[in-house]
Amino acid sequence: LTLCWFFYLAIGHHIPIYTQCLILVISNKESAAQQKGLLIFGVVLSVLLQETFRFAYYKLLKKANEGLLTLSQEETMPISIRQLAYVSGLGFGFMSGAFSVVNILADSAGPGTVGIHGDSQHYFLSSAFMTMAIILLHMFWGVVFFDACEKQRWWAVGAVVISHLLVSCLTFQNPEYVASLVPTYVILFLMGVWAFYSAGGSLKNLKLCLTCKDKDLLLANHRPR
Amino acid sequence: MIEKLLRTFMSWTAVTQIFHSLFRISASLSGDVGVLHVLESEANLDWVLKTGPNPPYMVILDSTLFTRSIMMKLKTGSSRVAGVVVVAPSSNPSEGFSPHTTCPNENSGVYSESYDPALAHCNVTVWNPLGNGLSYEEYDFPMFSLKDDNDTQAIKQCYYNHNHVVNGSSPQYPLCAMQLYSHMSAVTDTATCMRRNGINFSLNPETVCDPLGDFNVLASTRPLNYTDKGHKTGESVVIAAARLDSRSFFFDIAPGAESAASGFVTLLAAAHALRNATQEAEPNRTILYAFFQGETFDYIGSSRLVYDMENKQFPLDLDNVHSVLEIGQVGLHGESKLWVHTDPVSRRNSSVNEEVEKLIKNLNSSALNLNFSLQEPSFSQPLPPSSLQRFLRARPIPGVVIQNHNSAFTNKYYESMYDNAEYLNMSYPPNLTPEEQLEYITDAAKALTEAATIVARALYTQAGGSDPIQLQNINVDSQMVTQMLYGFLVKSNNSWFQQMVPSDFAIHLRDRPTNFYVGVTQQHSEPTFLVQYLLANLTGTTVNITQDNCQNQREGEDDKESKHIYSYMWVQGAAPPNSTERVAFCVRSTVRLSKALSPAFDLKEYTSKDYSTWTESRWKSIKGRIFLVASHELEMLTLGVGVAVLIASLMLTYIISSKADILFSSGREPTAATY
């Protein structure tokens, strides 16, 4: 079931990504200064659009899940909202990553590398790392966002939106790859920790897992896996 | 966008083509990639061939370095050479350059061991001493030519920024590299590729090469019935011949100013001057004007005509031919002197000798009244490469070839891309509009006018014309000569040519010099058409018939006979002064196109020693681009990092999902509550 949800969300989430691409394509035709302005506008718009869609999906998924529950015989939900958050975030991330990397991959197939007009030749490597960061970030944002919506913590929702905007704007630092990648990874780490905690993790659990005492704990509490 | 970051497509002006029998280049299907290297001198070749650490190299040559010795060295080291780019200069090199052999058409002329061993293989006179034979070698890499403009500067700049080596150290990655696409389908030689053409294992047999050829343009002072083939009793014909084609090392650039245009323009002008004389007081012999295509490639056109005559495929045969007057390279560079070459072997026959002497006398008497001198070469030597040689291979026919050289060629750029208007001294004063340039009479035009007048008067006398008043009235119009030279060597899209062609051809007129390469049989070359239309207008008459009749080759609704004798062309005409609509009209002439395809292909003798076996390979798109290449280490690093991250993330996902219960348990309440 998780897999089904994942694919559905992945396909569904490409609407905001697509609009972002459209904006980029349109902006290509203008002059350089106008292009920069249009690009910034486009990026901001697409971030807001993505977050709006995320919220819409949250509402939709909650309704759908409750509906399924009334239909089914079981007592518990087939899929928890946390799992939904994870899957939705991953779907977003996957789509976003695919759109940003497929183009680059296609062009990298031919001979040669970036640099004839003076750009850095580490273009491919840094795009790859950036894409990875974005995918993981989307996943963490999904988890935090859904959790915040559940608990009506609107400031957390705002923090997610702001951090998304921040990361997108950091990409304008390219080709200063250090300046854009390092802060992005810092934000990634912070968001990861936040998502871990909001998903129900804690330092105690982590230590338990790492020292392989989890089996003993389970056995002690007679809890099935 | 990313493509632009990565690679820049350059605009290429020309590339070499793969021909067969002797010349070959090969290129790989996916394009050849090589690290750029601008060759500084012949000594610098060591870097490319031996010491350079990043082979294969794409060598960029300035035209001064495009010599035989450098090319031969590159050829032997071709495992380290990915391709060669020659930067074409903006002006002709003063020392001359000819990629043809020193003895052009050595084995396809008349001088062989059986004809006269002393005269074979240029034993007496080496016609093209500057020839370096580059066009007749095999190369294992593509060769391109670039004009010296901004793109070329960008390429050189890329080299200096990234690849240039100082003091013997190795250049650092990333290096500037180039990729050239010029895949040629055919391999080895004509016999092999023609055999492969015939193999049809699949539904669509793929043709890999095509024979070179086109059409000869013929016209006669008296109409010939083209359905009545074979010997024509009582007909005695004087053939006035010239060649139409030329070539260079690179495809698409064959200006052929002196090697082709000087000759056929003279003949066209002479034909026009003779129009009135041959119509009003017809001399007893017919003059056949023959413009042969494909002569550069072992006499494709003339060998075909002789073959057709021998095999009753032409309304005349060799018995009808009285004599041949051929106009070779007649561009004059200051002197007013032309040379009359004859074949010493056929002249050993006294009757042939007598006719030749008469012909030379006619020429000399025509030259008397003009400030011109025509002389025979000072010693006995064979004919230079000329279409007459193919006639002599069939039987001894009296003939002369008019050239501008006594023994070896004076043309320093024979069959090369430098044989252009500049070499022929066609210089125009600055600040003239194209229309004014068209009308301006250059020195070259004046010289050719004199030559053409001599030829015209000599032809009249040779054809039996005896009226001295007619003879005096044969004068070539220098205005016409300069317009023709402009049209063929500067720009074919000019107002004079526009008037004389049909409207569907007018769009093919170009704003650049005509390319005289004969090309494959299927593709009709521009000069053939231009000469056909010009000859029709210059030797034909205007007839007052409707467009419909004209385009259907008849004079009236019931006329079925005229199309065998005449050809009709509906030409655009000029617009009268007060309007923009052209007034079109019909021109009736005796101009015919006769197929110029080597008999070897009809006979399927692809290794024939008697006929031309030249073919051209089929090719796909021709383009090139430059970019930077990264070092192998960086590529491996990128791949390694990617694989490592993939494995790490898979493992992490597995671990986390297997321990998910424990890891994410603290937020969960004991009862299974719905969220």
Residue B313 lies in a domain: yes
Query: Chain B residue closest to A146 (CA)?
Result: B675
Any residues with CB less than 8 A from the CB of B280 and at least 6 apart, and which? B470
Cα dihedral B550, B555, B561, B562 sign: negative
Cα A6 from Cα A3, distance rounded (Å): 5
Exposure class string for B340-357: b at 16+ Cβ within 10 A, else e: bbbbbbbbeeeebbebbe
R_g over Cα of chain A: 20
By three-state DSSP, how is residue B163 classified? helix
pLDDT tens digits for A26-59? 656 656 677 777 778 888 888 888 888 888 888 8
- pLDDT at B46 exceeding the cut of 60: yes
- For residue A136, what pLDDT is reported? 92
Cα B569 from Cα B590, distance rounded (Å): 11
Residue B342 lies in a domain: yes
- pLDDT at B475 exceeding the cut of 70: yes
Same structural domain, B151 and B241: no
Residue B362 lies in a domain: yes
CA distance B36 to chain A (A): 13
Q: Which of A222, A127, A223 is nearest to A184 (CA)?
A: A127
Q: Which of B33, B158, B638 sits opposite A124 (nearest CB)?
A: B638
Cα A121 from Cα A137, distance rounded (Å): 26
The two three-digit tokens of residue A11, written as one number: 């396909």
Q: Quick check: B2 and A115 CB within 8 A?
A: no
Same structural domain, B31 and B131: yes
The verdict on B664 touching A (C-beta cutoff 8 Å) is yes
Q: Which of A112, A119, A205 sits opposite B7 (nearest CB)?
A: A112
Total structural domains within chain B: 3
Cα dihedral A206, A210, A216, A218 sign: positive
CA distance B141 to chain A (A): 18
Which structural domain range is residue B180 located in?
2-207+622-633
* Residue percentage of chain B with pLDDT more than 70: 93
Same structural domain, B120 and B251: no
By three-state DSSP, how is residue B626 classified? strand
- Collect all residues of chain A within an 8 Å Cβ-Cβ radius of residue B4: 117
Range scoring the smallest mean pLDDT among B194-198, B273-277, B494-498: B194-198
By three-state DSSP, how is residue B223 classified? coil
Q: Quick check: B674 and A69 CB within 8 A?
A: yes
Residues of A with CB under 8 A from a CB of B: 28, 66, 69, 75-77, 80-82, 103-104, 107-108, 110-117, 119, 121, 123-125, 128, 132, 150, 198-202, 204-206, 208-209, 214, 217-218, 225
CA atoms within 13 A on the CB side of A110: 23
- For residue A214, what pLDDT is reported? 54
Contact predicate B434/B492, CB 8 Å? no
Residue B452 lies in a domain: yes
Sheet of strand B541-543: strand arrangement: B541-543, B585-589, B567-571
Residue B282 lies in a domain: yes
Comparing B394 with A88, the larger pLDDT belongs to B394
Within its chain, how far is the Cα of B612 from the centroid?
A: 16
pLDDT band at B674 (very low <50, low <70, confident <90, very high): very low
| pLDDT, one tens digit for every residue, chain A (225 residues) | 566 566 666 665 666 666 666 666 665 665 667 777 777 888 888 888 888 888 888 888 888 878 877 777 766 666 778 888 888 888 888 888 888 888 888 888 878 788 777 777 788 888 889 899 999 999 999 899 988 988 888 899 899 999 998 888 888 777 677 788 888 999 999 999 998 888 877 787 778 777 765 555 555 555 554
pLDDT band at B342 (very low <50, low <70, confident <90, very high): very high
- For residue B26, what pLDDT is reported? 62
Same structural domain, B261 and B397: yes
Query: Chain B residue closest to A75 (CA)?
Result: B672
By three-state DSSP, how is residue B671 classified? coil
The verdict on B43 touching A (C-beta cutoff 8 Å) is no
Same structural domain, B131 and B277: no
**Count of CB atoms situated within 10 Å of the CB of A170:** 18
End-to-end Cα distance, chain A? 19
Same structural domain, B388 and B406: yes
- pLDDT at B464 exceeding the cut of 60: yes
Instruction: Give φ, ψ of B291 to 5 degrees.
Output: -110, 110
Mean pLDDT of B555-564: 86
Residue B533 lies in a domain: yes
End-to-end Cα distance, chain B? 47
Same structural domain, B570 and B496: no
* B505: enclosing H helix or E strand: helix B503-506
- For residue B22, what pLDDT is reported? 45
Q: Quick check: B662 and A81 CB within 8 A?
A: no
Q: Quick check: A125 and B672 CB within 8 A?
A: no
Q: Quick check: B627 and A81 CB within 8 A?
A: no
Cα B265 from Cα B490, distance rounded (Å): 14
- For residue B672, what pLDDT is reported? 40
Partner residues linked to B605 by β-bridges: none
Q: Quick check: B174 and A128 CB within 8 A?
A: no
Q: Quick check: B630 and A123 CB within 8 A?
A: no
Cα dihedral B30, B197, B209, B298 sign: positive
Q: Quick check: A113 and B630 CB within 8 A?
A: yes
Residue B640 lies in a domain: no
Same structural domain, B411 and B532: yes
Q: Where are the beta strands (DSSP E) in B10-119?
A: 14-15, 24-25, 32-38, 57-62, 81-88
Q: Which of B2, B174, B666 sits opposite A115 (nearest CB)?
A: B174
Q: How many CB pairs below 8 Å do chains A and B form together? A: 106
CA distance B638 to chain A (A): 6
Q: Quick check: B177 and A111 CB within 8 A?
A: yes
Q: Where are the beta strands (DSSP E) in B396-509?
A: 399-403
Angle between helix A123-150 and helix A81-108 axes, rounded to 10 deg: 160
Same structural domain, B291 and B306: yes
Cα A51 from Cα B426, distance rounded (Å): 73
Mean pLDDT of B96-121: 91
Range scoring the smallest mean pLDDT among A81-90, B127-136, B327-336, B425-434: A81-90
Question: What ipTM, to 2 d.p.?
Answer: 0.81
- pLDDT at B675 exceeding the cut of 60: no
* B290: enclosing H helix or E strand: strand B286-292
- Collect all residues of chain A within an 8 Å Cβ-Cβ radius of residue B632: none
CA distance B26 to chain A (A): 20
Question: Which of B3-17, B27-41, B230-244 has maximum average pLDDT?
Answer: B230-244
Cα dihedral A194, A197, A200, A202 sign: positive
Contact predicate B180/B7, CB 8 Å? no
* B374: enclosing H helix or E strand: strand B373-375
Q: From residue A102, give the alpha-carbon distance in Å to each of A28, A94, A96, A111, B2.
A: 19, 12, 10, 17, 12
The two three-digit tokens of residue B207, written as one number: 């043709």
Cα B274 from Cα B254, distance rounded (Å): 30
Cα B519 from Cα B526, distance rounded (Å): 10
DSSP H stretches of helix in B253-346: 262-280, 300-310
Phi-psi category of residue B168: left, alpha or beta, with phi > 0 → left and psi -120 to 50 → alpha: left
Contact predicate B176/B159, CB 8 Å? yes
- For residue B485, what pLDDT is reported? 95
pLDDT tens digits for B141-173? 888 888 878 888 888 888 888 888 777 677 888
Cα dihedral B87, B93, B95, B96 sign: positive
Contact predicate B237/B278, CB 8 Å? no
Q: Quick check: B627 and A206 CB within 8 A?
A: no
Contact predicate B315/B228, CB 8 Å? yes
Same structural domain, B245 and B337: yes
* B337: enclosing H helix or E strand: strand B337-341
Contact predicate B452/B266, CB 8 Å? yes
Same structural domain, B392 and B362: yes
- For residue A26, what pLDDT is reported? 67
Partner residues linked to B585 by β-bridges: B571
Range scoring the smallest mean pLDDT among A3-17, B166-180, B276-290, B304-318: A3-17
Cα dihedral B500, B504, B506, B508 sign: negative
By three-state DSSP, how is residue B598 classified? coil
CA distance B83 to chain A (A): 16
Cα B316 from Cα B320, distance rounded (Å): 6
Same structural domain, B27 and B139: yes
Q: The CATH number of the domain where B439 resides is what?
A: 3.40.630
Residue B485 lies in a domain: yes
- Collect all residues of chain A within an 8 Å Cβ-Cβ radius of residue B674: 66, 69, 76-77
Q: Quick check: B664 and A82 CB within 8 A?
A: yes
- pLDDT at B425 exceeding the cut of 90: no
